Amino acid sequence: MTADEFRALALELPEAVEDSHMGHPDFRVGGKIFATLAHESEGGGNIKLKPEQQASYVADEPEIFRPINGAWGLRGWTHVNLPNAQELTVRQALIAAWRNTAPKKLVALLE
């Protein structure tokens, strides 16, 4: 997967928009960040998972997912090694990150 493919998947999600945070592209819903391309030059992205989701993704596919270092990682922010990832896996992780971040009313409309 490439950064452009990651971007396209993120922007397919309802009401997702691209913005910038600390000089890196990010993806937001309801004004809140659910994913970034902070490591785009290294072939990676980041997604906002819950800690238990992060643990599951890391355990299932450690060649693709790893916690971000420090406090952000403890809160569930997870690095995605894009060159090792398949579209379906990243799509599912982005949907989880979007659901974790989107306003509850928006998520409810999709259920």
Tokens 């997912």 sit at which residue?
Answer: 65
Is residue 29 within 8 Å of 102, Cβ to Cβ? yes
Average pLDDT of the segment spanning 24-32: 95
Task: Report the candidate in 61, 50, 69 with the shortest Cα–Cα distance to residue 85.
Answer: 61
Mean pLDDT of the chain: 93
CATH number for region 3-109: 3.90.1150.30
Tell me the C-alpha distance between 67 and 43, whole Å. 16
DSSP 13: S
Q: In the prediction, which pLDDT does 22 show?
A: 78
Q: Where are the beta strands (DSSP E) in 1-111?
A: 17-21, 24-29, 32-39, 44-48, 65-67, 77-81
Average pLDDT of the segment spanning 9-36: 94
- For 77-98, the pLDDT digits (tens) are 999 999 999 999 999 999 999 9
Beta pairing class for 24-29 and 17-21 = antiparallel
The structure tokens listed for 98 are 């979007």
pLDDT(45) > 70? yes
Average pLDDT of the segment spanning 63-90: 96
Q: In the prediction, which pLDDT does 40 show?
A: 63
pLDDT(76) > 80? yes
pLDDT(43) > 90? no
Number of DSSP helices (H) and strands (E) in the chain, helices first: 5, 6
Q: In the prediction, which pLDDT does 15 show?
A: 96
